[in-house]
Amino acid sequence: MHQQFLPVTPQEVTQRGWDVPDFVFVCGDAYVDHPSFGHAIISRILEKAGYRVAMLCLPPWQDASAFTRFGRPRLGFLVTAGVIDSMVNHYTVAKKRRSEDAYAPGGKGGMRPDRATIVYCNRIRQAYHDVPILIGGVEASLRRFSHYDYWDDKVRHSILVDSSATLLMYGMGETSIIECANWVADGMDPAQLRRIRGICYMNKTADTSCIQLASHKEVCQDKRKYAEAFLTQYEEQDPIRGKRLCQQQDDDRYLIQNEPCLPLSREALDAVYELPYTRRWHPMYDKEGGVPALAEVEFSIASTRGCFGSCSFCAITFHQGRIIQSRSPESILKEGRLLTKLPNFKGYIHDVGGPTANFRQPACDKQLKCGACKNKQCLYPRPCKNMRVSHDELIDILRQLRSLPKVKKVFIRSGLRYDYIMADKDPTFLRELCKHHISGQLKVAPEHVCPYVLDKMGKPGRNVYDAFVQKYAKINEQLGQKQYLIPYLMSSHPGSDLNAAIELACYLRDTGFYPDQVQDFYPTPGTLSTCMFYTGLDPRSMKPVFVARSPEEKAMQRALMQFRAPKNLPLVRKALRLAGRDDLIGWDRECLVPPESPRKQAAPRPGASKTTARQKPVSDKKPSKAPTKRSSKWAKAKPKKR
């Protein structure tokens, strides 16, 4: 590997013969030159286009001097908070500070500020008052309109207002970054902004050619207007049929959003992943032990982007869109061969996937001509009759990858839509997945079992998951393999009340699955579910939605999902009594938890030992036939780290 990192010091800028860089790229992640990191892709694209880019990653933000390291750039600054929204990166759903950061050297926490995009931009403005600043990445993309902020528990302005940036690029940005860089280089003519897709900018007057959203003031004061505005944003997030949007932010400033970028062709997406990445963290981090986040992706291949699954709690729809873009099999195999030549390659390709690994094509032919349907989903409440279902290309890619010299195993660790697998009449993919591409367990995401919660999530019914469990078990039995399913489950999603949580607990009781970890719903910007959480309304119907808000209510829903844990027993009893389900407290096999008082033992029969007289714990029933892991005795169950 002879590729060079981009300059990170003034000395390296001088060594390249530059007076100053064209752009200084400020990022809240450590510098990892790998295509799984957005800053690596964008900086390499600019480099290929002839722009000079210097990297300023994890700068100390306490004063403006850190942002003058390279002097004033010729064209401007590029700013991103990193791969993850900085608030999600820093805080748990309980708003407790995380101690580690996988995207920082040595995993050290606290190396970037809260609301990193805003802080970085404000420091740049202190150093260079009028320099152009272009912001992008997940944090900027999902906060481009007035949005509910879970951590402040209020509606905040567009991040473009709070950051005072010149332009905001939303979505993946490979095409918009070049157009924006050219726009800056050509003198920043305001009249040219309207033609650049995938950007937001501020205007002094409303643009009457746009769809007008409720103003920032209105969405702050009226939750119904907030829900209506969000639904419009959500519906127009389509590169084919989407319209330009306008939202007044204050008295004389209006946010304009242009149409999303068009999907990349296979050739264009191949070119993005074939740029000269070093595929390493920068050597300046070696003394700290490197950057932990690279370990998950170093030997993985990104094959697709976008997702037509449209789960309500997922922001992919609002960031990458619903139209699938995929790399060619030839490009994926080329990267597979490259991985086998890396010095630390041990024979294992850890993942071949994307947001959803088994989506390789647009859901239907119509999407590339007319866009994704405005008021319909491809998989919910049932697969659309127009959806093309095929795993043939993916099967062929996986077969070729695992036949490469030095490759021992090719895994799929990205999410798989089991409902899409069930819609495929050809069982070949699931059979080959079980035989070759998982190791002992497969993780899938039913998320819940209660119908009215699944409706709010946009997830298929329990019957689909149950059918998948049976099919998975049958195939593994035929293959002579003992492999498990690990279902991801979520508590406290909008719509989930105590009755729904109890229904899920009973399902876990009946299947014998005991989750080691549970996840509370996390209201992050840019999702339908977050809109429901804030407004208490489903924006698609404007009907009220139950929302669990108090810490105790959320704790009870979590406890019900791990009802066997001794520490959870008091909380589970309280939840059951509040819901009027005292029938689930007791020693019967159908009960979730025992009562507070010790169980009275029957008097020993004459001649019987104490051991034979003692009854077995209620959890000592026969294991379920479903191939899921379970703990043995509920009284001794201890959560294990996954």
Which pLDDT score is estimated for 343? 92
> Which burial class, exposed, middle or buried, applies to 347 when counting CB atoms under 10 A from its CB (0-12, 13-18, 19+)?
exposed
Taking residues 471-482, what's their average pLDDT? Answer: 96
Q: What is the dihedral of CA 353, 354, 356, 360, to 10 degrees?
A: -70
Q: Is the pLDDT assigned to residue 325 strictly greater than 80?
A: yes
Helices 392-402 and 428-436 cross at an angle (nearest 10°) of 30
Q: What is the mean pLDDT of residues 190-196?
A: 96
For the domain made up of 299-439, the CATH class stated in words is: alpha beta
For tokens 């005292």, name the residue.
582
Are 113 and 119 in contact, with CB atoms under 8 Å apart? yes
Which CATH number describes the domain made up of 10-257? 3.40.50.280
Q: Half-sphere exposure of residue 283, counting CA atoms within 13 Å on the CB side?
A: 6
As given in the structure block, the two tokens for residue 9 are 């010091």
Of 371, 346, 354, 379, give the one whose Cα is nearest residue 458: 379
Q: Does residue 7 contact residue 54 with C-beta atoms inside 8 Å?
A: yes
pLDDT score at 610: 36
C-beta separation of 64 from 122 below 8 A: no
Measured CA to CA, the distance from residue 569 to residue 172 in angstroms comes to 46
What is the rounded distance in angstroms from the CA atom of residue 585 to the CA atom of residue 578?
Answer: 12
Query: Tell me, what DSSP letter sits at residue 27?
Result: E
Supply the pLDDT for residue 2.
58
Q: What is the mean pLDDT of residues 241-250?
A: 97
For residue range 382-411, what is the model confidence (pLDDT) as tens digits? 999 999 999 999 999 999 999 999 999 999
Beta bridge partners of 281: 32
Assess whether the region 10-257 and the region 299-439 belong to the same CATH fold.
no
79, 121 Cβ separation under 8 angstroms? yes
Q: For residues 547 and 324, what is the distance between their CA atoms, to the nearest angstrom? A: 32
Q: What is the pLDDT of residue 323?
A: 96
pLDDT band at 41, cuts 50/70/90? very high
The Cβ-side half-sphere exposure at 352, using a 13 Å CA radius, reads 31
Provide mean pLDDT across the span 540-563. Answer: 97
What is the model's pLDDT at position 516? 85
Which residues does 26 contact at the CB level (< 8 Å), separation at least 6? Answer: 56, 57, 59, 67, 77, 78, 79, 80, 120, 124
Domain coordinates of the chain in residue numbers? Answer: 10-257, 299-439, 479-598+616-642
Tens digit of each residue's pLDDT (9 = 90 or more) over 50-66? 999 999 999 999 999 99
- pTM score: 0.91
Angle at which helix 551-561 crosses helix 498-511, to 10 degrees, equals 20
Beta partners for residue 348, in sequence order = 409
**Interatomic CA distance for residues 589 and 600, integer angstroms:** 16
- The pLDDT tens digits of the residues spanning 569-604 come to 999 999 999 999 999 999 999 999 999 987 665 455
Could you tell me if 225 and 162 are in contact, meaning their C-beta atoms sit under 8 angstroms apart? no
Q: Across residues 481-491, what is the average pLDDT?
A: 95
Helices and strands in the chain: count of H runs, count of E runs:
24, 22
For residue 626, what pLDDT is reported?
42
Sole residue written with tokens 């039913």:
446
- Region 416-433 average pLDDT: 97
- For residue 621, the model assigns a pLDDT of 36
Q: How confident is the model at residue 70 (pLDDT cuts 50, 70, 90)?
A: very high
Residues 444-466: tens digit of each pLDDT: 999 999 999 999 999 999 999 99
Task: Say what percent of the chain tops pLDDT 90.
Answer: 91
314-318, 431-435, 512-516, 605-609: least confidently modelled range? 605-609
DSSP-assigned beta bridge partners for residue 256: 201, 246
Say whether pLDDT at 611 is over 80.
no
* DSSP assignment letter at 3: P
Model confidence at 518, in pLDDT bands (50, 70, 90)?
A: confident
pLDDT beyond 60 at 618: no
Q: Give CA 407 to chain center in angstroms.
A: 29
At 214, is the secondary structure helix, strand, or coil? coil
The pLDDT of residue 49 = 98
Q: Which two tokens stand for residue 252?
A: 């004389």
